[in-house]
Amino acid sequence: MKLLISIGLLLQVVACIYVPTSLLEQSNKPSHWLELSQFNFQPYILTDMCVDCRKDHRNDPLFNCSIDFGWKDPNANTTCDCHYEWQWTSTNTTPSGLTPRDMDYLKCEANAGLLDYFQFKFEAMFNPSNFTLMLSHMFKDYKDFPSPELANLFAERNITLAPTDSGDTELVYYLEGPIEVKIMGVTI
């Protein structure tokens, strides 16, 4: 059910961005989707993104990989650090042999004690330097949503990192950023 609501709200938000002012003025009964067009979400900002894949010996079949990055949400004025580890065979294109659809969202370390949940998942992975991240941040938005509702902003971004070190036993990719990630949808 949430998926249907998310897609519906996403379509409504996107559609509202292009509604001409003249149509808004003609409407004597504003609909919910017209109200959603009033939001001006700022993009997420990702920084210091690094994927580090290493193995002890060149003949080992698996690399031990990790991803690390900083994440700022200017809509909530909060930040967090994200970290995830997996094994990679250098021939498969998904962490731990899972397909991206099988992967759950991974929780990032955020501000303790706050209703503040940063999550990400690999939507697609072509290799450790080229992948798509789906990002979700759920937080208490006192400005746009009445209590007790939590806003949940979604975004997706293709990421390409530059190689910094490579060899038989290590592959390291990095992008300082900032990487801006446009908000694509919201649920409450």
HSE at residue 186, side-chain half, CA atoms within 13 A, is 23
pTM, full prediction: 0.74
State mean pLDDT over 120-134. Answer: 89
Q: Say whether pLDDT at 55 is over 80.
A: yes
Q: Per-residue DSSP letters for 30-67?
A: --HHHHHTT--PPPEEEEEEEEEEE-SSTT-S-EEEEE
Q: Say whether pLDDT at 44 is over 80.
A: yes
When the pLDDT of each residue in the chain is averaged and rounded to a whole number, the result is: 76
Q: Say whether pLDDT at 82 is over 70.
A: yes
Q: Say whether pLDDT at 134 is over 90.
A: yes
What local confidence, expressed as pLDDT, does residue 7 receive?
Answer: 38
State mean pLDDT over 65-90. Answer: 90
Task: Map residue 175 onto helix, strand or coil.
Answer: strand
Residues 6+ apart with CB under 8 A from 84: 66, 67, 95, 106, 120
State mean pLDDT over 148-162. Answer: 89
Cα gap 167→67, rounded to integer Å: 18
Q: Say whether pLDDT at 16 is over 60.
A: no
Main-chain dihedrals φ then ψ at residue 96, nearest 5 degrees: 55, 20
What local confidence, expressed as pLDDT, does residue 97 receive?
Answer: 52
Q: Say whether pLDDT at 13 is over 50.
A: no
What local confidence, expressed as pLDDT, does residue 37 receive?
Answer: 57
What local confidence, expressed as pLDDT, does residue 36 receive?
Answer: 46
State mean pLDDT over 135-143. Answer: 85
Main-chain dihedrals φ then ψ at residue 95, nearest 5 degrees: -60, 135
Q: State the amino acid at position 23 in one-letter form.
A: L
Q: Per-residue DSSP letters for 135-167?
A: EEEEE--TTTS-TT--EEEEEEEEEEPEEEEES
Cα gap 47→44, rounded to integer Å: 10
